Copies of this chain bind each other. A is one copy, B any other.
Amino acid sequence: MSVSPSFRPAAPAAGRPRQRRVTDALLSAALAEFARHGLDGARIETIARTARTSKQAIYRRWPDKTTLFSAALDHAFAGSRPDPAQRLSAAADLDRFVRGRIEVLTATSLGPAFVQALASRPQVKAVLDGVEEDWRLTLRQMLVGTAFEAGMETRIDLVLGYVHRCLVAERRPSDVEIETAVHLVLGLMPPRRPPGCR
């Protein structure tokens, strides 16, 4: 699933090894550039200069821009894989999932770029399908075997759609909003709120 930066087959370590410093700088620079300009608007040369290195250092690691984009996302998500289902309560699990996904993508401003890439030509989309499938899997684990198994895929689509909307709008919804969305998806009653509150 993850796009590792190396493609050397099994050579134990011939010649000078790659510097992790360079790789890290590239991923950070790429992240910033993609967040600012989107997949197509980002310029490889700019990423290289920002990382104080050269284009070739990029192409030695990733075959093309699309793959770099994917790797940068991977990097951003590293350590922030969706927490696995706790299986305590579907509502709590979903709530944490939604909150977490929105958190990491708005923090890095990658939301729009992420959605844009999902809507791109298949070749680009394919790179992110892995991520999506990952999310779907996690959500399935949260719902399977519960009372909410019925219409599971549609529930999942609703959750993912809701996340996408927040990413596109670059808007972090309030706790109550997330809670409401989750309750609706699960077919529970939405939480009470004082009258007059929307």
Contact = CB atoms under 8 A, between A and B. Distances in A.
A101 to B, nearest CB: 13
Interface of A is mostly: helix
Contacts of A119: 38, 111-116, 119, 167-168
Contact of A150 (B114, B150, B190): B190
Given A112-B120, A115-B115, A119-B119, 19 more contacts: A38-B119, A114-B119, A115-B116, A115-B118, A115-B168, A151-B184, A153-B177, A154-B184, A155-B184, A158-B158, A158-B161, A158-B162, A161-B164, A161-B165, A164-B164, A164-B165, A184-B185, A184-B187, A187-B190
Interface of A: 37-41, 111-116, 118-121, 150-155, 157-158, 160-168, 173, 177, 180-181, 184-185, 187, 189-190, 193, 198
Copies of this chain, tallied across the complex = 4
A154 B175 CA distance: 12
Q: Which residue, A41, A119, A162, A164, has most C-beta atoms of chain B within 10 A?
A: A119
Given A151-B184, A154-B181, A184-B158, A121 B164 contact: no
Contacts of A193: 150
A162 B158 CA distance: 5
A26 B193 CA distance: 52
The 9 lowest CB-CB distance pairs between A and B, nearest first, are A161-B161, A40-B40, A112-B119, A116-B119, A115-B119, A161-B165, A161-B162, A151-B180, A154-B180
